[in-house]
Structure 1
Amino acid sequence: MWVLIPAYEPDERLIDLVRDLAPTAPVLLVDDGSGPSYGEVFTVAEGFGATVLRHRVNRGKAAALRTGLAWIRDHSAKVDVVCADADGQHRPADIMRVAAELTRRRREHEPPAVVMGARAFDGEVPWRSRLGNRATSALVAAASGAALADTQTGLRAYPAELIPWALGVRGERFSYELRLLLEAARAGIPLVEVPIATVYLDDNRSSHFRPVRDSALVLWPLAAFAASSLAAFALDTAVLLAASALGLGLGAALVTARASSALLNFALNRRAVFRADGPPLPQLARYLALALAVLGAGYASLWLLTWAGLPLLVAKVITDGALWFASFGLQRSFVFRRSARDAPTAAHAPHRRGPAGPRRAAVRSR
């Protein structure tokens, strides 16, 4: 097993980390264009046994991780990799704890998983870190179904089987790590969290994470789903008006419009939003069943809310908003779900451990 540490303008904390890790596991550092001023830090780290790769200019954390993962893949046959940060937030004991969970899963023949060190965010945590993690955790859960305690952790372990997959995930800088979570959930790859210490130094000033920019990408599935819904609404309206103009009765025009918009919505959601594979007819059948269920739930909700005294407009806004989010989750987990044949790694139940041990995120396949 290798420990991979991308580093940009590090200080002596990186040297301390390498010195503590080197007797236990080989360490690979990627100098992401830190410049000559930081050359001594990497030279001292090499003296403690680390291997150093260098980018001539700063290319971002994603590029540094890919450089390291590709080098390990090419130079060491079938080894696992633990990625850690260079700023002192990951203690050697926690890095080894994450590595041990990956080893345990392999020993017990559990499916390959991304193992992450999850912080509890207790004690004195900078407000932007606490707020940013809670926001991105909620968005990741809404977009992918993965209920994670810590979406921003840089302490992650990848088994050798998943390194080619990780190298193929798109994304730059810190957005790459968020995209890895979304793509893992989509592919049915288990996400396992191991509790680690929450360490912040100097109010986390060394972090290069930008919460707004780097977290925005998790909204993409929801935004695509919304765009698909709007496109279906536009087609529904256009067909209804055109059919009425051609002389069809209201009932026939409405059925034609709804059928056309439903087919468009199904096609867009299947290919552009959830990127589903497999035969489309079973998915279409589930889609139609869900549409009928949503229709019934909408009627029941409107009746109940108006009976409780809410105005019809308010009741409709509440109902449609709740059903929209519910429809997104149900289409992801029911209509366009990944079968066991398509995602064999997700077909096995995870090993259960006590409350203090690692837990598998609640990941529903698409």
Structure 2
Amino acid sequence: MIALIPSYEPAEHLPTLVTALAAADPGLGIVVVDDGSGPAYASIFARAAAAGATILRHDRNLGKGAALKTGLAHVHGVAPSEGVVSADADGQHTCADIVAVADRVRALGERDGRTLVLGCRTFDGAVPLRSRLGNDISRRLFRAAAGWPLSDTQTGLRGIPAALVPWLIGLPGERFEYEQRMLLGLHGAGFTAEEIPIATVYLAGNESSHFRPVLDSVRVTLPTLVFAASSLLGFAVDTIALFLLQAATGALVPSIIAARLVSASVNFFVNRRVVFLRRGREGMWRQLCSYALLAAVLLASNIVWLSYLTGIGVPLWAAKLLTEIVLFCTSYRTQRSTVFAPTYRAGGISRTAAADSSSQAAPAASKT
């Protein structure tokens, strides 16, 4: 088991944490990624190395997601059967909690386990407002997007089985949004999550955290927001086409079908390239066939709902709005977990994941 600690401009707590981890769990390897902190912090990383950590370095600040991927790529290269427990460098995760998460991953199966273990905080008592507010917004948006609840979507304390590492290395995202993408794609990649309670710790008002409430909250929720924008575009195209075609023909069902064909074509290419970050021709025919099947199911549902609602006297505009709201969540979850789920190879076995594992390799890093 490897403890992975991404760090940018760390405080004196970092070498203390490394020392404590080495003493508490001698079998736990420790990797620290210096995410471009600069010469002013060299002495802190030197003390962490002296305490037993392997230090990987970025020449410039690339973001937490990039630092995590650098560390994961290193672990996968030198110890592919080892699980990883990621922890923050700002003192929010105690040594005891890090070891507890590592032990839980071991118990579930460090090499072949299928469960991401999440150390989750309770947001009550003296919790900084920006942390409380950020988690509350992220938690609500996450449940709406993913379809399953999670009490702490922003926790950086995560126990990762070795089987999950190859997918995570290629997961899109360079900054704080990377951890949200991890959770959003987890079930579609064939894994589950388990929460264990941990202490809620904030040092000096959480001043060492580099999470920026406004910008990073936008980044964290960006995948969901982009899909919502794409769906809104498709809805607009579909609605305009429906009204024009029905006005021209007077036939509702043929107008629904024709309007959906137009909007589905637009939506497929926007979702493929912009929302789910798929490029090139690889997997395109599989995605197109899957999308066509989904579109057919949604179209049938659309016809049934619109026919029923307009038949009982609901105005067409209101019936259309209600129908699209009902079908939105189903469409998003299915596209994320099935339609645009690329294949990747882990341990010689071809698997289907919920995000693009071929999008980019982990950033290059130097090692000391």
User: What TM-score comes out, normalization by structure 1 length?
Assistant: 0.77
Match of residue 76, structure 1, among 70, 75, 79: 79
State the alpha-carbon separation in 1 of the partners of residues 133 and 11 from structure 2: 27
Match of residue 214, structure 2, among 208, 212, 227: 212
Cα contact 1:286–1:335 (8 A) shared by 2:
no
Match of residue 178, structure 2, among 176, 185, 208: 176
Task: Give the secondary structure class of the aligned counterpart of 1:220.
Answer: helix
Shift of 1:196: 1.2
Q: Is 1:11–2:11 an aligned residue pair?
A: yes
The more displaced of 210-219 and 41-50 is: 210-219
Q: Is 1:92–2:95 an aligned residue pair?
A: yes
Q: Write out per-residue CA displacement over residues 138-196 of structure 1, whole angstroms, 9 at most, x where no aligned residue.
A: 11222222321111111112211111111111112112112222232443432322221
Q: Cα–Cα, structure 1 residues 186 and 11, in superposed 2: closer, same or farther, change >3 Å?
A: same
Equivalent residues in 2 for 1:88-127, closer than 5 Å: 88-106=91-109, 111=114, 113-127=115-129
Flag the structure with larger Rg.
1
Shift of 1:114: 2.3
Cα contact 2:10–2:90 (8 A) shared by 1:
yes
Matched length: 324
What corresponds to 2:255 in structure 1? 257
Shift of 1:125: 0.5
Shift of 1:238: 4.0
Q: Cα–Cα, structure 1 residues 56 and 288, in superposed 2: closer, same or farther, change >3 Å?
A: closer
Letter of the aligned partner of 1:18 in structure 2? V
What corresponds to 1:20 in structure 2? 20
Q: Is 1:288–2:291 an aligned residue pair?
A: no
Letter of the aligned partner of 1:159 in structure 2? P
Shift of 1:7: 0.8
Shift of 1:284: 4.5
Match of residue 150, structure 1, among 141, 149, 152: 152
Q: Is 1:232–2:241 an aligned residue pair?
A: no
Q: Cα–Cα, structure 1 residues 27 and 326, in superposed 2: closer, same or farther, change >3 Å?
A: same
Q: Write out per-residue CA displacement over residues 230-282 of structure 1, whole angstroms, 9 at most, x where no aligned residue.
A: 121233234345xx2xxxx423xx43321112234445556654878485465
Shift of 1:129: 0.8
Identity within the alignment, %: 39
Cα contact 2:92–2:202 (8 A) shared by 1:
yes
State the alpha-carbon separation in 2 of the partners of residues 82 and 228 from structure 1: 41
The more displaced of 114-123 and 326-335 is: 326-335
Letter of the aligned partner of 1:44 in structure 2? R
Q: Cα–Cα, structure 1 residues 18 and 55, in superposed 2: closer, same or farther, change >3 Å?
A: same
State the alpha-carbon separation in 1 of the partners of residues 40 and 70 from structure 2: 22
Letter of the aligned partner of 1:236 in structure 2? L
State the alpha-carbon separation in 1 of the partners of residues 309 and 201 from structure 2: 47
Quote the RMSD (CA, aligned, Å).
3.3
Q: Cα–Cα, structure 1 residues 194 and 298, in superposed 2: closer, same or farther, change >3 Å?
A: farther
Letter of the aligned partner of 1:119 in structure 2? R
